[in-house]
Chains A and B, each alone.
Chain A
Amino acid sequence: MTALLEVAELVKHFPTKGSLFRAGPPLQAVAGVSFTVKRGEVLGLVGESGSGKSTLGNMVLRLDQPTAGRIVFDGQDITHVPDSALGAFRRRAQPIFQDPYGSLDPRMTVEQIVAEALVIHRLAQGRKAIRDQAAGLLELVGLNASQLSRYPHQFSGGQRQRIGIARAMAVKPELIVADEAVSALDVSIQAQIVNLLRDLQRRLGLAMIFISHDLAVVEYIADRVAVLYLGRIMEIAPARAIVRTPKHPYTEALLSAVPEPDPGRGRKRIVLQGELPSPTAPPSGCVFRTRCAYAISDCAKVVPELLEVAPGHRAACIRTGIL
């Protein structure tokens, strides 16, 4: 199977406010990330705040322009295609956002929201055809077609998230970028949406980039998982391998910090020391070394490469052997 999406050495710097005449040191939100996503595959992106996972998602969708690097979608380099010529790509890749309250235009009806893509790309002609398709999309995500003329504020958070998913599905995309799509929802609603996404993904054979800070959700939904720290991939591997046999100290610490609803489970917790370094002045060598329990002096000198440690399992650590 060929890769649907290939991202190579992607970099995003944001300017920071320095003094009046000189900009501050750039904030390195994403610092050289490469990965591929195959058709029908779900890649999970995990990281804490400041890891650059959302910026990465935005760049893949060309909602943020990369500072450097390459985005190749279905064999075509789209990194520098101007916005106005991105139409074809826009029909094939769609986002799902985190905040169910901010992601729907409060002044539009559900029909207008869901049908916007149909109008833009002329996928349906005539009022009735548009309405029928919008109704079909609502039913696809488990909502009632009779709710088409309501406004977003008349729905609950979970229902709004379904509307957002319906909007993304309108163009029949091949790639979905879901950025913390279930994080803002109540526990009992979260599972509904996770199931919906997983079901759609499987039925329609979608490729998906699932971005989340919640490792358990990511493991559940993703085929492969990339762990990000300070804008770099620390480890990338099949989901099961990431959770059962992590090869990077950061992944290990992250896993151990996840609170489990199981009071009997005694386990070793690795408490990370210190603070997240500033993304405007990342540490030399391995960016994780300042908080790593296994760090040695070499870690400050060498930038670790993302090397294969097991089939399909790669980690960026010069001491992977010790785990």
Chain B
Amino acid sequence: MTRYLVGRIGQLVLVLFGVSVIVFFTMHVLPGDVATLLLGERATLAQLASLRHQLGLDQPIFIQYFYFLLQVLQGDFGMSLRSNHAALADVLVAFPVTLQLALAALALAVVIGVPVGIIAGTRPSGLLDNLLMTATLFGVSMPIFWLGLMLLLLFGGLLGWLPIGGLMPTGLDAPRVTGMTVIDSLISGRPHLIWESLRYLTLPAVTLATIPLAMIARITRSEMLAMGSLDHVRTARAKGMPERRVILRHILRNALIPVVTVIGLQLGLLLSGAVLTETIFSLPGLGRLMVDSILSRDYPVVQAGALFIAFVFVLVNLVVDLTYGLLDPRIRRS
């Protein structure tokens, strides 16, 4: 087990290294010159040259990368070119917003998606199955930015039930502890704050949850069907087990193994979706920060954000793999 973990952490380092290479070199072939960007168009050539020297931009790119790597290993990604904060600090401020959104969406997707898949999978080709599967097919085909807008239009605009964007009502904030509004509100213990934070989270979470929900439902259904035709299920029935228990113990349990993998894979989807969701609902999350930084060539933030996201990504995959081991004894003991 320890060996396995060590190996996986090794892989993690490797992936992070790869991502740092990709991000660093793409950012440095960007058209446009950082020094000009910082000093403005009117800077003299001498000023520019001195700044470039100061930033190490006059060095060969491999040397630059080496220094970059050295700094990164010390947790220093440089300063944001826009906010003048440490790049990593900007990333860490934005991250809880995205984390809260992604967790809420994932929770919705799993809590609704798995049962929907079970219901459909135990009645293949029935009316309910057809209805649910049509609905999930609509779900996976939905452009997330359009869905977000439509939900906003309906619940925010026409019905006016929910806010049309932002994290919290202006001027109202729980003291920042985790950076996640719902949790901070819970800590503050003020019911009004909790209520508002949930109201603001609802639409973005539903928007972001739709596609993963539909995918989880579909994969659960198809795995239930696949497992349901296996020999050991016939054995269970031959033992005289009631159908309900056959489904729960011998079909669902085995079907969950691939479902968990898919849930793990949803993370990439969630983070991609978060970029668009945050744009639509004006949330100051990591996705939006990345887009803005890319658009304004704020490469320290892009680098910090990319590496941070890759780190989270690999970490989650590790957790998924460990869960896999818990569910499947064939992997656990080999």
Chain B residues in 8 Å Cβ range of A187: none
B334 touches A20 (CB 8 A): no
Kindly specify which of B3-11, B75-83, B137-145, B284-292 makes contact with the partner chain.
B3-11
In the bound complex, residues from chain A placing their C-beta under 8 Å from that of B3 are: 19-21
A251 → chain B closest CB, angstroms: 34
- In the bound complex, what is the Cα–Cα distance between A319 and B111 (angstroms)? 68
Contacting B at CB under 8 A, from A200-223, are: none
Q: How far is the CB of B281 from chain A (nearest CB, A)?
A: 43
**A80 close to chain B: CB less than 8 A:** no
Q: Which residue of B lies closest to A18 (CB)?
A: B3
Q: At the interface, yes or no: A153 with Cβ under 8 Å from chain B?
A: no
Q: Tell me the bound Cα distance from A195 to B334 in angstroms.
A: 45
Instruction: For residue B322, give the distance in angstroms from its CB to the closest CB of chain A.
Output: 15
B interface residues, how many (CB within 8 angstroms): 5
Least CB distance from A203 to B in Å reads 44
When each residue 1-39 of chain B gets 1 if its CB lies under 8 Å from chain A and 0 otherwise, what string results?
001101100000000000000000000000000000000
A17 and B334 CA atoms in complex are apart in Å by 8
Chain A residues with CB under 8 Å of B6's CB are 20
User: Looking across the interface, which residue of chain B has its beta carbon closest to that of A22?
Assistant: B3
Residues of B close to A20: CB separation below 8 A: 3-4, 6-7
Minimum distance in angstroms from B187 CB to a CB of chain A: 41
- Taken together as a complex, chains A and B put the C-alpha atoms of A19 and B334 apart, in Å, by 9
B214-235 contacts to A (CB < 8 Å): none
Interface of A is mostly: loop
Instruction: Give the shortest distance, in Å, between B80 (CB) and chain A (any CB).
Output: 39
Closest CB of chain B to A280's CB: distance in Å? 13
CB distance from A19 to the nearest CB of B (A): 4
B325 to chain A, nearest CB (A): 14
Q: Closest CB-CB distance, A84 to chain B, in whole Å? A: 34
Chain A residue nearest to B1 (CB atoms) is A19
Chain B residues near A19 (CB-CB < 8 A):
3-4
Q: How far is the CA of A227 from the CA of B4 in the complex (A)?
A: 41
A17 and B330 alpha carbons, distance in the complex (Å):
13
CB B331 to nearest CB in A, in angstroms, measures: 11
Distance to closest chain A CB from B328 (angstroms)? 16
Minimum Cβ distance to chain B for residue A27 (Å): 14
Give per-residue flags for B320-334: 1 if the beta carbon is below 8 A from chain A beta carbons, else 0. Answer: 000000000000001
Which of chain A's residues has its CB closest to B8's CB? A20
1/0 per residue, CB under 8 A from B, across A264-278: the answer is 000000000000000
CA–CA, A270 to B228, complex, Å? Answer: 41
Is the beta-carbon distance between A21 and B334 smaller than 8 angstroms?
no
Instruction: Give the CA-CA distance A17 to B6 in the complex, in Å.
Output: 16
B2 to A, closest residue via Cβ: A19
Interface string of A9-45 (1 = CB under 8 A from B): 0000000010111000000000000000000000000
User: Smallest distance from the beta carbon of A23 to chain B beta carbons, Å?
Assistant: 13
> Which of B258-282 touch A at CB < 8 Å?
none
Q: How far is the CA of A19 from the CA of B5 in the complex (A)?
A: 11
Q: How far is the CA of A20 from the CA of B10 in the complex (A)?
A: 11
Q: B7: nearest residue on chain A (CB-CB)?
A: A20
Chain A positions 187 through 206: 1 when the CB is less than 8 Å from some CB of chain B, otherwise 0: 00000000000000000000
**Residues of the A chain whose Cβ atoms lie less than 8 Å from the Cβ of B7:** 20-21
Closest Cβ–Cβ distance, residue B2 to chain A (whole Å): 10
Q: How far is the CA of A21 from the CA of B4 in the complex (A)?
A: 9
Measured between beta carbons, the chain A residues less than 8 angstroms from B4 are 19-20
- Of listed A17, A20, A21, residue having the most chain B CB within 10 A: A20
Closest Cβ of chain A: how far from B13's Cβ, in Å? 14
Closest to B4 in A: A20
Residues of chain B within 8 A of A17, CB atoms compared: 334
Chain A residue with the shortest CB-CB distance to B3? A19
A20 to B9, CA, bound (A): 12
Residue of B nearest to A20 (CB): B7
The minimal Cβ–Cβ distance linking A285 to chain B, given in whole angstroms, is 30
Closest Cβ–Cβ distance, residue B333 to chain A (whole Å): 12
Q: A20 to chain B: closest CB distance in Å?
A: 4
Q: A207 to chain B: closest CB distance in Å?
A: 41
Residues in A whose Cβ lies below 8 Å from that of B334: 17
8 contacts between A and B (CB under 8 A): A19-B3, A19-B4, A20-B3, A20-B4, A20-B6, A20-B7, A21-B3, A21-B7
Nearest 7 interchain pairs by C-beta: A20-B7, A19-B3, A20-B3, A20-B4, A17-B334, A21-B3, A21-B7
**Contacts A20-B4, A20-B6, A21-B7 supplied; 6 other A-B pairs, CB < 8 Å:** A17-B334, A19-B3, A19-B4, A20-B3, A20-B7, A21-B3
